[in-house]
Amino acid sequence: MPVADSERPVFLGRRFAAMAHRGGWVDPADQPRENTRYAFGRALALGFEFLETDVWATADDELVAFHDDRLDRVTNGTGLVGEHTWAGLEDVRIGGLDPIPRLIDLFEEFGAARLNIDIKDDRAVRLLADVISRCGAEDRVCVASFSTARLAEFRRLSPGVPTAVSPAGVAVATHGFGLRRLLPEAGRALQIPVRYHGVPLTLIRPDVIRLAHAAGRVVHVWTVNDEAEMHRLLDLGVDGIVSDDITTLKRVLVGRGLWEGES
């Protein structure tokens, strides 16, 4: 059985978490405009409440929403994000159009949004805890990281903020056999990839979902852009899907009576 709403953190209070990955896209031509006010605003206009993003610290300790460690793939800038000051990034444009946003600006501009935030570097941990506290956003976020150490430090700094299970915890849940039932992790959301470097994985299984629900966790799957795969995962009973193709995800959820956002 899925986790009861009364047992979920406020961030997870919806019956199903439909997450716009880096803001998602409606027209594939807009894919380069990831992690921008444009992408996030469009997802919210479509009725999405949950946004997924990533954070890095600049050289002068500003926290920016950006996925890669380097600017080169999606911007007209070059070099590592962490080697630039915030002033040095202000003229950089994502997809040639959009400025890189600070996380604090996203909290202030999109007050109704709930953010799943992936901590990408060590210096961002303290900055994220501080921004969440300053914005009073503890109930609006779930914090994840590929680093178990970063998650542990964030939980120490912000003990009341919902977090995802660490990659080590996901490994225990999906491959730990007899140890899986213990799930000692503090995280409330088991966030599992459906592919790794394009290779399909078989991590999302009925036994894994049963284990997570029995331990009071929810199961989110990333990043899912195929409609048939969305249906398969929903049939298995997952609690959330992260997708780039937000129009397809919304259509699937509306058809199955799981859409809770604005129509």
Residue 113 in any domain: the answer is yes
Which residue in the list 67, 84, 213, 220 is annotated as catalytic? 67
Whether residue 19 is predicted with pLDDT greater than 90 in this model: the reply is yes
Q: What is the pLDDT of residues 171-230, one digit of tens each?
A: 888 876 544 555 556 899 999 999 877 778 789 999 899 988 988 889 999 999 999 999
Q: What is the mean pLDDT of the chain?
A: 91
Whether residue 9 is predicted with pLDDT greater than 50 in this model: the reply is no
Residue 195 in any domain: the answer is yes
Whether residue 4 is predicted with pLDDT greater than 70 in this model: the reply is no
pLDDT at 171: 85
Q: What is the pLDDT of residues 153-164, one digit of tens each?
A: 999 999 999 999
Catalytic annotation on 21?
A: yes
Residue 231 in any domain: the answer is yes
Question: Position 198: which residue type?
Answer: G
Domain range holding 141?
Answer: 5-255
Residue 260 in any domain: the answer is no
How many percent of the chain have pLDDT more than 90? 76
Of 235, 217, 127, 117, which is closest to residue 170 (Cα–Cα)? 217
* DSSP-H helix ranges across 158-219: 167-175, 206-214
Is pTM beyond 0.75? Reply is: yes
Which residue in the list 21, 84, 213, 220 is annotated as catalytic? 21
Top-ranked range on mean pLDDT: pick from 4-8, 151-155, 166-170, 195-199: 151-155
Pairing of strands 218-222, 189-193: parallel
Q: What is the pLDDT of residues 105-163, one digit of tens each?
A: 999 999 989 999 999 999 999 999 999 999 999 999 999 999 999 999 999 999 999 99
Query: CA-CA distances (angstroms) from residue 54 to 3, 68, 124, 182?
Result: 26, 9, 10, 29
CATH number, domain of 211, equals 3.20.20.190
**Number of domains making up the chain:** 1
pLDDT at 172: 82
Whether residue 257 is predicted with pLDDT greater than 80 in this model: the reply is yes
Determine phi and psi for 259, rounding to 5 degrees.
-80, 125
* DSSP-H helix ranges across the chain: 37-45, 86-89, 103-109, 123-135, 148-157, 167-175, 206-214, 227-236, 246-255
CB 119, CB 154: distance < 8 Å: yes
C-alpha–C-alpha distance, residues 19 and 208, integer Å:
21
Residue 263 in any domain: the answer is no
Whether residue 98 is predicted with pLDDT greater than 60 in this model: the reply is yes
